[in-house]
Amino acid sequence: MFEKFANIFRIPDLRKRVFFTLAMLAVYRLGGHILTPGVNSAALEQFFNSQSGSSLGLVDMFSGGNLRRLTIFALGIMPYITASIIFQLLTVVYEPLARLQKEGEIGRRKITQWTRYLTIILGIVQSMTIAIALSHASGGMVLNPGVGFVLMTVITLTAGTAFIMWLGEQITERGIGNGMSLLIFAGIVVGLPHAIAELVDTARASKFGAFTVPALIILVALMIAVVAFIVYVERSERRIPVQYAKRIVGRRLMGGQSTHLPLKVNSGGVMPVIFAASVLSAPLLFSQAAVVRNSAAMTRIFDALRPGEPWYELLYIIAIIFFAYFYISIVFRPDDIADNMRKYGGFIPGIRPGKRTSDFINDILTRITLVGALYLIIISIIPQILISGIHLNHLPLIGGLFEHLPLWVTNGLGFNFYFGGTSLLIVVGVAMDTVNQIESQLIMRHYEGFSSRSGRGRRSW
């Protein structure tokens, strides 16, 4: 394994990409320590501690803890993700955008440019909402509230969002892995020492009495099992056999070999979860606005959309299923695959080339995407229910039916553990995707990859 890892630094281009990625992540972490002017960080930290696990914890996780301290990167990459979702939805329902996307590199650059503009607009709206909410909040979170603080916060947080967007694009283009996913990954992983310290403090304080040690063992074992399950499913695929007919090209006989078309069970990776969490994070931000807190009806609606509430979990499940199918419809086109197979003399045994092949691939893709979506739901929801519970007793009219459920069902086990199901899924998924990209770079240069599937090549120079 050490020999395989050393191969990364024997290739100048790959070594340069790895160091560039690490440098960009270091810049991102450095910006996470620069506070927004005029904020009482101690009061803000106390507010987030009181809201832990119920209000802004999910948004704070995606920002890498920057929202908790209101640093210049407090908005994180959520505005960019939201803008990307909006434009990807528009390319499906708005024909001019769909035609522009099909124009190749020029069309994609134009859509990317518009996505950047929309990111700035969303950053201005979100930063203004945060600034106004903090100005009117009790507890002295703002040292000098007023128009000056609002303008300074909007400029600072919007500029931080634009810089994060640039960092992510630079990592994707000149580094290794998906830049936006790696930024989320870095923000989550940085909380690992804090999570371990919390577990140690829980064990020392015997928070649950005699059940403290068994509970910690169960939690750690559950984490390991979830990681193993994620790795297993992420590597699972449905292989469709493909046969290529023999044909004569010039004086050579081409084709005749048998191969397969691999369809991953979870082709969307962690993106459906990130998209779903991004959409549902909007109510968490706007719930702190004064206009919401001063309205009883609006307060009840936004309270029902907090993590752990039944309506939030239901919408989260629906959003994951929707974005799983939506994302796969963008990145995987059965019609194009069927046309390419027909052009090169390929066919699926027992299936006619053309439309029948496209329908066959689409049917299989529809079924395995549902399995992948259910897998994402299990990984995201079950650990969260075990840790913070699901408040079925808060349901209107029928909430009384769940009053006699065990407390660990409605309130969870009470662990304020940093790594829930969503964060574990993102960390493991992004890590595997990055390793796969490094492995493909090694194999392309005739080196041996990390896994046994990658084949063998030379080990050193």
Burial 179-210 (b: 16+ CB within 10 A, else e): bbbbbbbbbbbbbeeebeeebeebeeeeebee
Q: How many CA atoms lie within 13 A of 330 on its CB side?
A: 19
Rounded Cα distance between 414 and 390, Å, is 12
Q: What is the pLDDT of residue 271?
A: 80
Is residue 21 within 8 Å of residue 182, measured between CB atoms? yes
Q: Which of 235, 418, 244, 420 is nearest to 343 (CA)?
A: 244
DSSP state of 35: B
Q: What is the pLDDT of residue 87?
A: 85
Is residue 195 within 8 Å of residue 417, measured between CB atoms? yes
pTM of the model: 0.75
Burial 22-50 (b: 16+ CB within 10 A, else e): eebbeebbebbeebbebbbeebbeebbee
β-strands 252-254, 247-249 pairing = antiparallel
Is residue 446 within 8 Å of residue 458, measured between CB atoms? yes
Rounded Cα distance between 283 and 56, Å, is 10
Sole residue written with tokens 């007919």: 245
What are the pLDDT digits (tens) for 281-333? 766 666 655 555 566 777 777 777 777 778 888 888 898 999 888 888 877 88
Q: What is the pLDDT of residue 418?
A: 54
Q: Output the CA torsion sign for 19, 20, 25, 30.
A: positive
Mind listing the pLDDT tens digit of every residue in the chain (461 residues)? 566 677 777 778 888 888 999 999 999 988 888 888 888 777 777 776 665 544 455 566 666 677 777 888 888 888 888 888 888 878 877 788 878 877 777 888 888 899 999 999 999 988 888 888 788 776 677 888 888 888 999 999 999 999 999 999 999 888 888 888 888 888 888 877 777 777 777 777 776 677 777 777 877 787 788 888 888 888 888 888 888 776 666 666 665 677 888 888 888 777 888 788 777 776 666 665 555 556 677 777 777 777 777 888 888 889 899 988 888 887 788 888 888 888 877 888 888 888 888 899 889 999 999 999 999 888 887 767 766 677 777 677 676 666 676 666 666 665 555 556 677 777 888 888 888 888 877 777 655 555 555 444 444 33
> What amino acid occupies position 427?
V
Q: Residue 260's beta-bridge partner residues?
A: 241
What are the pLDDT digits (tens) for 3-60? 667 777 777 888 888 899 999 999 998 888 888 888 877 777 777 666 554 445 556 6
Q: What is the pLDDT of residue 109?
A: 85
Burial 436-448 (b: 16+ CB within 10 A, else e): bebbebbeeeebb
Is residue 123 within 8 Å of residue 162, measured between CB atoms? yes
> What amino acid occupies position 205?
A
Q: Which helix (H) or strand (E) holds 347?
A: strand 346-347
Sole residue written with tokens 């240069």: 445
Rounded Cα distance between 212 and 205, Å, is 9
> What amino acid occupies position 278?
S
Sole residue written with tokens 């371990």: 196
DSSP state of 36: P
Three-class SS state of 247: strand
DSSP state of 138: S
